[in-house]
Amino acid sequence: MTDSAQTQEMPGTAARLSRQQHGRPPAPVRMVHLGVGNFFRAHQAWFTERSEDAQEWGYAAFTGRSTDVADDLGRQECLYTVLVREPDGDRPEVISSLSAVHPGSDLAALRRYFASPDLALVTSTVTEAGYRRLPGGGLDLSDPDVTADIAALRQDPASDAVSTTPGRLVAGLFARRAADAGPVALVPCDNVPDNGGMVAQVVRDLATEVDPTLLDWIEENVTVVTTMVDRITPRATAEDREAVGELLHVEDAQVVVTEPFSEWVLAGEFPRGRPEWPGAQFVDDVSKHEQRKLWLLNGSHSLMAYGASILGHETVSSAISDDTVRGWVEEWWDVAARHLEVADVEDYRAALVERFSNPRIRHLLAQIAADGSQKVPIRFGPALAAEVAAGHAPPGATRPVAAWIAHLHGHGAPVTDAQQDTVSALAATDPAEAVRTVLGWMGITTPSPPLLDQVLTQVAEFEGAR
């Protein structure tokens, strides 16, 4: 019995998404994406769907370690629904821009796409930890998975035993060079300062270890675009999937929930072209935009994830409605704003409060709290270090550090971190030594006794808050 027959015989049962009924035909694959998470599907794939030339630009997307997304999307012809949670209602949008979805382990498919001259660009969203960097930048050659990738690619450039993002990118570039398929653009879309420079370095570092002759080809044929991305995308719940079922009368196992706001700023060259991407901004330098977003939006998110969860809040909207938490956020923004070089900071802050306050976006603080070892230094370090260098550090500048250390001590949201051994050791050490270590990550190598006392006092306040 076919799915359609089952639907006809069982009134009230929602149909699966299909291109014939709900989407458009798959576009030819001209883009690859690594990391089929919610953010990618609410951002880069969504921007592509809204392009006037969307029918010319299809994505082949590859999952991370889990194959669940690929399996679910395969059953619904790679379609899914973006549920935009407006303050006054829901707006569902069916997205057709994924032409194929593969498990991340399908290296044969990845190489086929890289070897095609039709491929124009490769986007990625694998989080900071996915690029396997050292704290100071560059590829972590001591990482066991990186070491294994290097050994596998040295032995056989077509090896399927490659697991890391840098390894997969280099494997793809080997295949592209062998096929003489021409230039390609790498377009990382993670919340990392200078994400283009980051990806360029880890790719070159790994290529150097495997086959240095690839470097000249990369120099001539690979451009790396730096981006700043922004759209709040909480995890979808069963209720969200039910809402889509009621609105569209379909069963969608991979609903993506997001806010109305979206932003994409890009700097770099696309030698084989790109989609039209309505609303995206193309600039010469994204650093000022990314700094504003990283410090104000991401920084306040982390502050709430650690501090507000200690007070018992579970979501961003709940946290920002608490006058105490709102005060912490405003104090941090006052600090960060002193070191930003962009206009309209006050308007941006007001817009953030409005976005955070949307009660229909259930953005979990526990989700934001993950991987603090990667996030805390870059979201708070530069502004805090600048304050210390100027001879002062108000409470709003140090509170995020204190909140994170209290979090590591078991207060508030659960601790999950890509550097679990590091943060476990940090949590177990003497609190003053933990503070010195974290400040050192931020470039403050010789903190003054008053600065240490201030952070330790704030840690104690957090740990005694409940």
288-463 has which CATH code? Answer: 1.10.1040.10
pLDDT in tens, 308-346: 999 999 999 999 999 999 999 999 999 999 999 888 899
Give the pLDDT score at 465: 84
* 219-237 mean pLDDT: 95
Predicted confidence band of residue 10 (pLDDT cuts 50, 70, 90): very low
For the chain, residues classed under CATH 1.10.1040.10 are 288-463
Q: Give the burial string for 289-307 (b: 16+ CB within 10 Å, else e).
A: bbbbbbbbbbbbbbbbbbb
CATH class of 3-285: alpha beta
pLDDT in tens, 78-95: 999 999 999 889 999 999
Give the pLDDT score at 124: 98
pLDDT in tens, 283-302: 999 999 989 999 999 999 99
Residue 60 has pLDDT above 50, yes or no: yes
pTM, rounded to two decimals: 0.83
Give the pLDDT score at 6: 36
Give the pLDDT score at 129: 85
**Phi, psi at residue 163, to the nearest 5°?**
-125, -20
Residue 100 has pLDDT above 50, yes or no: yes
Predicted confidence band of residue 193 (pLDDT cuts 50, 70, 90): confident
Structure tokens belonging to residue 337: 């704003």
* 198-226 mean pLDDT: 97
Residue 416 has pLDDT above 80, yes or no: yes
d(CA 123, CA 103): 16
Give the pLDDT score at 362: 87
Give the pLDDT score at 87: 86
d(CA 107, CA 110): 5
Give the pLDDT score at 8: 37
For the chain, residues classed under CATH 3.40.50.720 are 3-285
Closest CA to 285 of 189, 194, 198, 184: 194
Mean pLDDT of the chain: 94
What is the SS3 assignment for 401? helix
